[in-house]
Chains A and B, each alone.
Chain A
């Protein structure tokens, strides 16, 4: 039976608890958000002992279901001041699920200066003092933990940014190639740093595995689900070939590719950083255009990117990072962007927050537009070393804007706006404004319907239907984030009628229950309302569900679009 593993860093004790009945039907985001809402005082300082860091695999994680290996991490966010769930691939989620761990809750904070590591295994959690790996980057930590404990060990780790409690710090998860996936957004690495935990190792030895109540029913549903993923042109062909970066050219054509710190919607050098160019480059240099972030991923949107000499530079190289450093900072050199991606993974800092931050830093005059060499130096010598400037940069876009008096600062609830201009793609603007997470494209990905013709079509330049579109997608996404599924299963789920019922059948077969489509929708609504209630108690109200003024006042080329939603129209989002 699944258990709750609880670690108290104040008195350095650990416990294994039964799962309360109210939590039995929850997993992933629905569980981390429920636990944070129930146990963390909303007004606490996010870096204080009162905050808790919760990890939870999804409802289907650890089963043979395709693309179910995502891990949710939750806490009060030091970046937004609200609730945070950030999910990532890698090997940890499936190991935790197979160990029968429904959630790992880390609470309290050490009284002294000592740092620790946690070792999670079938018998519980062991806390040990850690001296050797302090100050090291994430790649070195993963290598060292594998040398100590074996190649199969799962690793969750923070880099220097997390140790220094920078609000853009992330938590890294070892992937199947001993490289890195990240719980990127919201500064969860700083929360782990505030608990003085450098890394968590996971030992899968003796894991009982995940029991499936009705194996035959599960097998049938799992087959239908995989078939839908492989049949859909986006998840079955587009993503595996070009990765997420195929979007550079599409958003550029649509005039929604934020460029030069969101001053225009098209980037002249878009083709140099596009998915098409990236694919050709990877193939020519002997890298891998296809790669899965976790075992059982059949979409394989990740990749391995090599340099001119055929040597590894980075993997998991995403559209948002490439857009941010590329178009938004006017850097047209994909190799330098790849090096920056690797450095951000190693330092342990969110590549979206940091890329948008560099756009603001360029506007502030800290470095010149397009100066990739200085960008790499700032990452290595300032952020990576925690200098005074590095700490300002490591605080994200809002931090740099405040410190340098910049008014064009693309953030909502102090979290950087990613990759799609809300003036020319209005649905995503509603998501940025209303998401409980701060600006977050993954919380209700209207790009599918506004730009990609998936799940119907809603004109991106008009206001009609956008609030409803964002609401429906945010509700569905909160439910999907609870299953442990990769969000890209939404592409087939929106278009192929057999897909969503198969997903629900798998959950039913796993637990021996009888959820309906309505139950799943209600789960999504419950998650959003629970998160919003926490945010309201933390001091975030509907006036925080707004985009920065410059989106209203500065039309964006080529469509000269402005953000024209009234406050009342945005507040309609919560009318459910």
Chain B
């Protein structure tokens, strides 16, 4: 299956902004995080198709996964 992976803020350093990724059916968000060399603790916000997700959310074909460190403002 294919997903769109978007990275934000410091996660882009040495990586990318957006990439298409080919993954095995049912891959969890956690596996994507670890494959990027990020740790679970570094993840502030997981968004899956514009809704909040979890590290153990399972991905499906066509999903957009967005990863943010813990940041804020306003």
Q: At the interface, yes or no: B38 with Cβ under 8 Å from chain A? A: no
A453 touches B70 (CB 8 A): yes
A244 and B9 contact, CB distance less than 8 A: no
Asked whether A448 and B72 contact (CB < 8 A) given A241-B9, A453-B44, A457-B52, the answer is yes
CA distance A452 to B71 in the complex (A): 7
Contacts of A320 in B (CB 8 A): 74
- Asked whether A60 is an interface residue with its Cβ less than 8 Å from the other chain, the reply is no
> Inside 8 A of B69's CB, which chain A residues have their CB?
233, 237-238
> Which residues of A lie under 8 Å from residue B66 when comparing CB positions?
253
Out of B9, B47, B51, name the residue touching A275 (CB < 8 Å).
B9
Q: Is A319 a contact partner of B73 (Cβ separation < 8 A)?
A: yes
Contact assessment for B73 and A239 in the assembled complex, using a CB-CB cutoff below 8 Å: yes
Q: Among A233, A238, A242, A461, which residue has its beta carbon within 8 angstroms of that of B51?
A: A461
Known A-B contacts A244-B74, A255-B50, A559-B50; the reply to A233 vs B8 at CB < 8 A is no
Interface bits A314-327 vs B (CB < 8 Å: 1, else 0): 00000110000000
Q: Are A246 and B47 in contact (CB under 8 A)?
A: no
Chain A residue, CB-CB nearest to B47: A253
Hey, what's the 0/1 contact readout for A445-462 against B, CB within 8 Å counting as 1?
101100111100101110
Closest A residue by C-beta to B6: A253
Closest chain-A Cβ to B19's Cβ sits at a distance in Å of: 14
Chain A interface residue count, CB cutoff 8 Å, equals 41
User: Quick check: B70 and A276 within 8 Å, CB to CB?
Assistant: no
Instruction: Specify which of A245, A250, A419, A453 is in contact with B8 (CB 8 Å cutoff).
Output: A250
Closest chain A residue, CB of each to CB of B68? A250
Give B43 Cβ to nearest chain A Cβ, in Å: 9
**Complex-state Cα separation, A461 to B51, whole angstroms:** 9
Q: Are B50 and A246 in contact (CB under 8 A)?
A: no
CB-CB under 8 A from A103, the residues of chain B are none
Contacts of B68 in A (CB 8 A): 250
Picked from B47, B50, B72, the residue with its CB within 8 Å of the CB of A491 is B72
How far does the Cβ of A311 sit from chain B's closest Cβ, in whole Å? Answer: 26
Q: Which residue of A lies closest to B43 (CB)?
A: A453
**Most central of B6, B51, B73 by chain A CB within 10 Å:** B73
Q: In the docked arrangement, what's the CA distance between A454 and B68, Å?
A: 13
Contact of B70 with A233 in the complex, beta carbons under 8 Å: yes
Q: Is the CB of B50 within 8 A of A254?
A: yes
> Residues of A contacting B9 with CB < 8 Å?
238, 241-242, 246, 249, 275-276
- A453 & B45 in contact (Cβ 8 Å cutoff): yes
| A150 interfacial by beta-carbon distance below 8 Å | no
Q: Are the C-beta atoms of A246 and B52 separated by less than 8 Å?
A: no
Residues on A with C-beta less than 8 A from B50 are 253-255, 558-559
The residue on A at minimum CB distance from B70 is: A233
B17 at the interface (CB under 8 A from A): yes
* A228-269 contact mask (Cβ, 8 Å, vs B): 1 or 0: 000001100111011111110110011100000000000000
A179 → chain B closest CB, angstroms: 20
CB proximity of A560 to chain B, nearest CB, Å: 11
In the complex, how many angstroms separate the beta carbon of B65 from the nearest chain A beta carbon? 10
Proximity string of chain B (48-74) to chain A, C-beta cutoff 8 Å, 1 when within and 0 when not: 001110000000000000101111111
User: Are A452 and B47 also in contact (CB < 8 A) when A275-B9, A276-B8, A459-B52 are?
Assistant: no
Contact A441 B74 (CB under 8 A): yes
**A275: B residues at CB distance < 8 A:** 9, 73
- B30 CB to closest chain A CB (Å) equals 16
CB distance from A427 to the nearest CB of B (A): 13
- Determine if A241 and B73 form an interchain contact, defined as CB atoms under 8 angstroms apart: no
Q: A253-B47, A461-B51 are contacts. A452–B70 as well, Cβ < 8 Å?
A: yes
Alpha-carbon separation in the docked complex, A238 to B70 (Å): 7
Is B10 in the interface zone, CB < 8 Å from A? yes
Bound-state Cα–Cα, A253 to B66, Å: 8
B residues near A246, Cβ cutoff 8 Å: 8-9, 71-73
User: How far is it, in angstroms, between the C-alpha of A249 and the C-alpha of B6 when the chains are bound?
Assistant: 10
Does A442 reach chain B (CB closer than 8 Å)? yes
CB distance from B52 to the nearest CB of A (A): 7
Q: What's the Cα separation between A253 and B45 when bound, in Å?
A: 11
A301 within 8 A of B: yes
Give the contacting residue for A238; candidates B12, B52, B72; CB below 8 A: B72
In-complex Cβ contact of B74 among A247, A254, A255, A460 (8 A) = A247
Task: Identify which of residues 24-40 in chain B touch chain A, using a CB-to-CB cut-off of 8 Å.
Answer: none
Look across to chain A and name the residue whose beta carbon is closest to the beta carbon of B45: A453
Minimum CB–CB distance for A508 against chain B, Å: 28
Identify the 4 closest CB pairs spanning chains A and B, nearest first. Answer: A244-B73, A238-B71, A233-B70, A234-B72
Interface residues of chain B, those whose CB is within 8 Å of chain A, are: 6, 8-10, 12, 17, 44-45, 47, 50-52, 66, 68-74
9 inter-chain pairs at a CB distance below 8 angstroms, sorted by A residue, are A233-B71, A241-B9, A246-B9, A247-B74, A249-B9, A255-B50, A454-B70, A454-B72, A491-B72
Instruction: Knowing that A452-B44, A491-B72 touch, tell me 13 more A-B residue pairs with CB under 8 angstroms.
Output: A237-B10, A238-B71, A239-B71, A239-B72, A243-B73, A246-B9, A254-B50, A275-B73, A301-B73, A447-B72, A453-B44, A461-B51, A488-B72
